[in-house]
Structure formats: structure tokens, C-alpha cells
Amino acid sequence: MEILKSPRLILRPLIPNDAVHFARLLGPDPAGVRMTATIPDPCTDEAAREWIVQNTSPGAGHIFAVTHAQSGEFMGAIGFGDSPGNGDLGYWIGKPFREKGYATEAIRRIVTHASHLGIRRLFAETFPTNLASSRVLTKNGFRLTGRGTRNIPARGGQRTILKYVVEIQGCSGQNTWK
């Protein structure tokens, strides 16, 4: 898997040893964990390691650690699963790094990477109470396509979700999504 760079971030392959960072950032942030669909709650080293192994196995998609370009500090994770032409985006940024534009920058870089892989459409979901995530998605050209329900066992079963999509126009190396 490639290493992706943006002005402030390096997105590198997520590895099992990153579990310690998941636990450090999400262990004391149960509200942050509950904004994700599958990260274990509570987020312990062991539970995070299992989640990482499962989500980085062959065929699981493209998942990256979000790290600071200068310091190398682990800040979160981002990735997408893919099927021919489409992908499902997921991400989280640790609480100390929120509201600084890192999620926006990471998504922008992932969309560009997806375009180079021939992905033409990325889908994303968020809970209606996660207003910050909705803002970040729309900043990156995702449009709200509707509201629905999805069975999310890790979050108690049927949950209301907001559905988003971004159409990627091409892979010329430019930021060509809309």
C-alpha cells in the first residue's frame, strides 16, 4: 500500500501496533467512539488491535493511519472499502486534533487517491448528531442523498444515518471531484 502525502499529513498503512494510539486517543473519548460504526467500545489496546487486523486483512480495502507530516504523531485513521467503481469512506480523528482541518485534508487526499485507483464514487455515512462530520464531508464535495437506517450492532442495532456521496470526475492528478 502506498504512503499518501498532503501539506500537513502523511497517510501511511495502518498496522496492528497502531492499536496503542487508538486506545490512547479513543479510550478516554467514548463519545468519539460512538460516532463511529465499528470501532470497539471500550477501545482498549487488545480490542483496537483486533479491529485493525480485521480491517487491514487482504481484500478489506484501503485503510491508513493519519499522521502529522512534521512530527509523525498519530492523529486518527481513514480509509475506504471498494467494489468496482465505488467505495465506502470511513474516518476518525482523535479529539486533540479536531477542528483544525485535519479531517478535511485527509478526506481530500483520500478522494484523490481513490480517483487514481479508478473509483468513481465514494459513499459516506454519519449519524445525524455528528454535525462536525457532516460539515467535513460537505466541505469535500460530498452531497447529502438522504436519511436511512442501518443495523449497526456495535452501536445498539438499528440506527438512523445520513447518507452522502461524492462523484469523482477523473484521475488526471488534479483534485477533480465535485
Q: What is the pLDDT along the chain (178 residues), one digit of tens a residue?
A: 799 999 999 999 999 999 999 999 999 999 999 999 999 999 999 999 999 999 998 888 899 999 999 999 999 999 998 676 788 999 999 999 999 999 999 999 999 999 999 899 999 999 999 999 999 999 999 999 999 999 999 898 999 999 999 999 765 444 443 3
Q: Which domain holds residue 9?
A: 4-167
User: What nine digits make up the cell of 27?
Assistant: 479510550
Helix (H, G, I), strand (E, B) or coil at 165: strand
In a domain? residue 29 = yes
Q: Which CATH number fits the domain that encloses residue 26?
A: 3.40.630.30
Residue 20 CB partners (closer than 8 Å, separation 6+): 45, 48
pLDDT at site 122:
95
In a domain? residue 42 = yes
In the DSSP assignment, the letter for residue 168 is: B
88, 68, 70, 69: which is closest to 79 by C-alpha?
88
In a domain? residue 133 = yes
In a domain? residue 172 = no
Q: What is the Cα–Cα distance from 47 to 49, expressed in whole angstroms?
A: 5
In a domain? residue 174 = no
In a domain? residue 178 = no
Contact 82, 111 (CB under 8 A): no
User: What nine digits make up the cell of 103?
Assistant: 479531517
In a domain? residue 103 = yes
Number of domains observed in the structure of the chain: 1
In a domain? residue 173 = no
